[in-house]
Amino acid sequence: MKKILLSAIAPTGSLTIGNYIGALKNWKDMQGQYDCLFMVVDMHAITVFQEPSSLRSRCFSFVAQYLACGIEPKQNTIFIQSHIPAHAELAWILNCWTNIGELNRMTQFKNKAKKHSSNINAGLYVYPVLMASDILLYQTDVVPIGDDQKQHLELTRDIAVRFNNLHKGVFHIPEPYISKTGARIMSLLDPKRKMDKSDSNPNNYIALLDEPSVVMKKIKQAITDSGTEIKLDKTKPAISNLLTIYSCLSGMTLSELEEKFKNKNYALFKKELAELLIDRLKPIQGRYKKLIDDKNYISAILEEGAKKANERANKTLRIVQKKVGFIARGKVEG
Ligand code: ATP
Ligand code: MG
């Protein structure tokens, strides 16, 4: 039996090389080894206002980008979160197993509340509990995450342990998987901040669907540090970030790169990085262009994914409902 791996991306903004390096690339590398569930989490996305027709087309586009990045639909379960009612149902139960104090400590809530101060809704606040439900429903073993999600996974584990203390063995306790390099890609104009796909300034990120000329322009504009040396250093956050991107995409180690760019200037380094990015994005964009026009194919994948995911999720949900004292549905309905 393969271990169960679950990972998700919220359909907001444009998928970036941060998402690629921190999530999609790892998914591709891990897909044969694990029983993988890959979601587009539209229920998480609406914690921030989304224009309905854009959300719909973005969900399709993200699935097409997953496929274009090499995620195999036959080998994995690919689905949209809202197609599985069990996520919302378990989230409600787990809300009742989560303390307000725990939610108050979530740094992502604090950051997002600051950013969206005119819409601090209850969904944004209980988002980590929905994420816990996403993970626990499938008895997940491994959750590949960037370090921005560490705190949420810790909370998931705490909730699961708390529930299991009263109801033995209901939830499998998931482990985080954090890739060694590039766990966190930083913004191009402000390397102290994470690269976010929903950033209001697109010059902060490279999108997977950015045209070559746009990639070149954004890398040229990317901020650099004082001095001239191209090396990984705490005092050089901008160059360190660009080197990390280079390393993750080329497979070369950071020390190999420091050697390669010894005595070279920033302009040359940036040009080579932009060329590498363009080269890596080209096949993804080529496959994407074909896929996005085939809505029937994508719909069929989502239908199949929802069928498989519903079956699995409902198994856990029914156990949990029974444990908390809900009457079995069959007995009422039948
Ligand atoms: P948003 O701004 O909407 O929160 P995001 O880019 O943070 O967008 P998420 O949907 O929150 O994207 O996360 C999707 C996946 O991508 C997660 O596994 C997350 O850890 C990973 N990820 C997101 N940003 C980065 C980054 N800058 N570097 C590495 N991994 C990242
Ligand atoms: Mg995020």
Kindly report the three-state secondary structure assignment for every residue of the chain: CCCEEEEEECCCCCCEHHHHHHHHHHHHHHCCCCEEEEEECHHHHCCCCCCHHHHHHHHHHHHHHHHHCCCCCCCCEEEEHHHCCHHHHHHHHHHCCCCHHHHHCCHHHHHHHHHCCCCCCHHHHHHHHHHHHHHHHCCCCEEECCHHHHHHHHHHHHHHHHHHHHCCCCCCCCEEECCCCCCCCECCCCCCCECCCCCCCHHHCCECCCCHHHHHHHHHHCCCCCCCCCCCCCCCHHHHHHHHHHHHHHCCCHHHHHHHCCCCCHHHHHHHHHHHHHHHHHHHHHHHHHHHCCHHHHHHHHHHHHHHHHHHHHHHHHHHHHHHCCCCHHHHHC
Does residue 146 have its Cβ closer than 6 Å to ligand 1? yes
Confidence at 148, pLDDT banded by 50, 70, 90: confident
- pLDDT at position 22: 86
Does one domain contain both 42 and 113? Answer: yes
Task: Return the pLDDT at 146.
Answer: 75
State the pLDDT confidence band at 305, using cuts at 50, 70 and 90: very high
Span 132-147, average pLDDT = 93
Q: How high is the pLDDT of residue 330?
A: 74
Nearest residue by C-alpha to atom 4 in ligand 1: 196
Tell me: the pLDDT tens digits for 45-96? 999 999 999 999 999 999 999 999 999 999 999 999 999 999 999 999 999 9
Looking at all shown ligands, the one closest to residue 15's CA atom is: 1
Examine the domain organization and report whether 17 and 134 are in the same domain. Answer: yes
192 is catalytic: no
Residues 281 and 310 in one domain: no
**270 and 132 share one domain:** no
Pocket test for ligand 1, best of 12, 37, 148 (most atoms within 8 A of CB): 148
Tell me how crowded residue 262 is: count the other CB atoms within 10 A of its CB.
10
Closest CA to 281 of 211, 220, 221, 216: 211
300 in the same domain as 284: no
Q: From atom 20 of ligand 1, which residue's Cα is the shortest distance away? A: 146
Task: Determine the Cα–Cα distance for residues 9 and 24; give it in Å rounded to an integer.
Answer: 9
What value, to the nearest 5°, has the Cα angle with vertex 245 and ends 239 and 249? 145
Q: Residue 43: which of 158, 147, 121, 116 has the closest Cα?
A: 121
The structural domain count of the chain equals: 2
Same domain, 142 and 215: no
In a domain, 189, yes or no: no
* Pocket lining: 323 vs ligand 1, CB cutoff 6 Å: no
User: Which atom of ligand 1 lies nearest, measured to the CA of 12?
Assistant: 3
Distance from residue 152's CA to the centre of ligand 2 (Å) = 11
Residues 280 and 308 in one domain: no
Residues 151 and 278 in one domain: no
> Out of 25, 112, 218, 270, which one is annotated catalytic?
112
Q: Kindly name the residue from 28, 168, 194, 295 that is annotated as catalytic.
A: 194
User: Which of 7, 9, 20, 36 has most ligand 1 atoms within 8 Å of CB, for mutation?
Assistant: 9
Do residues 82 and 179 share a domain?
yes
Classify residue 195: in a domain, yes or no.
no
> What span, in angstroms and rounded, lies between the C-alpha atoms of 303 and 63?
12
CA distance 274 to 245: 10
* pLDDT for residue 180: 66
Residues 205-239: tens digit of each pLDDT: 999 999 999 999 999 999 999 999 999 999 999 99
Distance between CA atoms of residues 127 and 106, nearest Å: 10
Q: Does residue 150 have an active-site annotation?
A: no
Please indicate, yes or no, if residue 192 is contained in any of the structural domains. Answer: no
The CATH number that applies at residue 318 is 3.40.50.620
- Please check the confidence at residue 250 and state whether its pLDDT lies above 50: yes
Same domain for 259 and 307 = no
The residue nearest atom 5 of ligand 1, judged by CA position, is 196
Q: Ligand 2 centroid to 267 CA: how many Å? A: 31
Q: Give the chain's mean pLDDT.
A: 95
User: What pLDDT shows up at residue 329?
Assistant: 83
The pLDDT, as a whole number, for residue 182 is: 56
Phi-psi region of 169 (alpha: psi -120 to 50; beta: other; left: phi over 0): left
Distance 175 CA to ligand 2 centre (A): 19
* pLDDT of the residue at 149: 87
Residue 307 has pLDDT above 80, yes or no: yes
85 plus 215 within the same structural domain: no
Ligand 1 atom nearest 198 alpha carbon: 2
Residue 159 counted as domain residue: yes
**Per-residue pLDDT at 184:** 87
Q: How far apart are CA 278 and CA 24, in angstroms?
A: 17
The answer for 264, left when phi > 0, alpha when psi is -120 to 50, beta otherwise, is beta
Active-site pick, 25, 197, 218, 270: 197
Answer yes or no: is the C-beta of 40 below 6 A from any ligand 1 atom: no
Find the radius of gyration of the CA atoms of the chain.
21
pLDDT of residue 334: 42
- State which residues form the domain around 84: 4-183+294-324
Tell me, in angstroms, the distance from the centre of ligand 1 to residue 238's CA: 19
Q: Is the pLDDT of residue 24 over 70?
A: yes
The CATH number for 281's domain is 1.10.240.10
Which two tokens mark 72?
Answer: 């195999």
145 lines ligand 1 (CB under 6 A): yes
Active site residue 194: yes
Q: Is 162 a member of any domain?
A: yes
Residue 251 backbone class (left: φ over 0; alpha: ψ -120 to 50; beta: rest): left
Q: Is 24 within a domain?
A: yes
| Residue % of the chain over a pLDDT of 90 | 90
pLDDT at residue 312, as a whole number: 98
Is the same domain home to 8 and 72? Answer: yes
Asked whether residue 284 is domain-assigned, the answer is: yes
pLDDT in tens, 287-303: 999 999 999 999 999 99
**Residue 331 is assigned to a structural domain of this protein:** no
State whether the beta carbon of 204 lies less than 6 angstroms from ligand 1: no
What's the rounded Cα separation, in Å, for the pair 303 and 269? 45
Beta carbon of 9 within 6 Å of any ligand 1 atom: yes
pLDDT score of 181 more than 80: no
* pTM score, whole prediction: 0.94
Ligand 1 close to Cβ of residue 10 (< 6 A): yes
- The larger pLDDT score, comparing residue 145 to residue 28, is at 28
